[in-house]
């Protein structure tokens, strides 16, 4: 059982986390949800299309203009409070590596801290424990926040992913983060080449076997673009193919831009796997 905020999810229940960027320079939407009203409209649409979690981020992952902790908090804290007021049942995640920002958003109602940079600020897990919220433990290959990988190498990329993410998850549990609210993430593209991300996907079942629920953040990433030689706006099909493979291998939470399309993919895979009945089953019965 995965518990986040007011919600509980069964072991085989796929969960969609919708991306809401509070940044003017996000790689995918170039700031479309930087202002409050478009961002709130995005939350409303995502929930209507089947997202159980919204992931709010105030700093783009890649290099760019410096964003201080104060500015990151300015972009996220008030917005989290408003989403909490308007959508009391949605799980609110905040994409941050900074403990100070994590504390500020937990004060106003965040349910989950999505640490995409692999515990670079060790205090963030302490914040999650103190507020009793969930934590995403990600493999970033030791990379500093907002840096791109350069000639990174692993003897065995999945062995390193398991060592780091399970270690972070166990530490979080020891600190007092509820075990049922901890997820692990292989960190596609973070501290990895395209071949590393493809191998991490191919061997995702090894993460699932740890017993920790697995989150994947695949949406329109560079490893998809490089694999298919497609620009950012033409990566949806590749993303959905990777989503289907990840679902078949047992990932549970999917951080995405395209909610409705992802919902159909996850429902189809769940039905093939036998976890979900068809919505309609009239064929051959008339």
Element (H, E) at 286: none
- 223 touches 194 (CB < 8 A): yes
Sign of the Cα torsion 56, 119, 146, 194 reads negative
Residue 119 DSSP symbol = S
- 222 touches 189 (CB < 8 A): yes
Write out the catalytic residue numbers.
221, 255
- 91 touches 137 (CB < 8 A): no
In angstroms, how far is the first alpha carbon of the chain from the final one? Answer: 39
Name the one residue in this structure whose structure tokens are 């783009």: 60
User: Which distant-in-sequence residues (6+ apart) come within 8 Å of 135 by Cβ?
Assistant: 112, 113, 115, 124, 125, 128, 172, 177, 181, 182, 183
d(CA 150, CA 22): 28
How many C-beta neighbours within 10 Å does residue 64 have? Answer: 14
């Amino acid at each position: 059982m995965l518990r986040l905020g007011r919600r509980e999810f069964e072991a085989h229940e796929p969960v969609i986390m919708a991306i809401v960027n509070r940044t003017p320079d996000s790689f995918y939407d170039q700031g479309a949800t930087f202002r409050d009203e478009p961002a709130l409209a995005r939350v409303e649409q995502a929930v209507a299309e089947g997202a159980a979690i919204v992931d709010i981020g105030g700093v783009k992952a890649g290099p760019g203009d410096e964003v201080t902790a104060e500015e990151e908090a300015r972009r996220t804290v008030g917005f989290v409070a408003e989403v909490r007021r308007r959508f009391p049942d949605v799980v609110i995640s905040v994409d941050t590596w900074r403990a100070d920002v994590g504390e500020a958003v937990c004060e106003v109602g965040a349910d989950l801290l999505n640490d995409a940079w692999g515990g670079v600020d060790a205090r963030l897990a302490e914040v999650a424990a103190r507020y009793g919220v969930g934590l995403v433990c990600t493999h970033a290959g030791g990379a500093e926040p907002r840096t791109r990988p350069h000639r990174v190498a692993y003897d065995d990329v999945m062995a390193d992913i398991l060592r780091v993410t399970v270690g972070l998850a166990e530490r979080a549990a020891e600190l007092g983060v509820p075990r049922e609210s901890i997820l692990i993430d292989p960190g596609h593209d973070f501290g990895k080449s395209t071949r590393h991300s493809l191998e991490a996907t191919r061997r995702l079942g090894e993460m699932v076997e740890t017993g920790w629920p697995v989150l994947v953040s695949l949406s329109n990433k560079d490893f998809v673009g490089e694999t298919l030689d497609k620009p950012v706006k033409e990566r949806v099909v590749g993303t959905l193919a990777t989503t289907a493979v990840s679902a078949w291998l047992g990932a549970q939470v999917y951080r995405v831009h395209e909610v409705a399309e992802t919902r159909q993919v996850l429902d189809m895979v769940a039905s093939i796997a036998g976890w979900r009945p068809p919505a309609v089953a009239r064929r051959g019965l008339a």
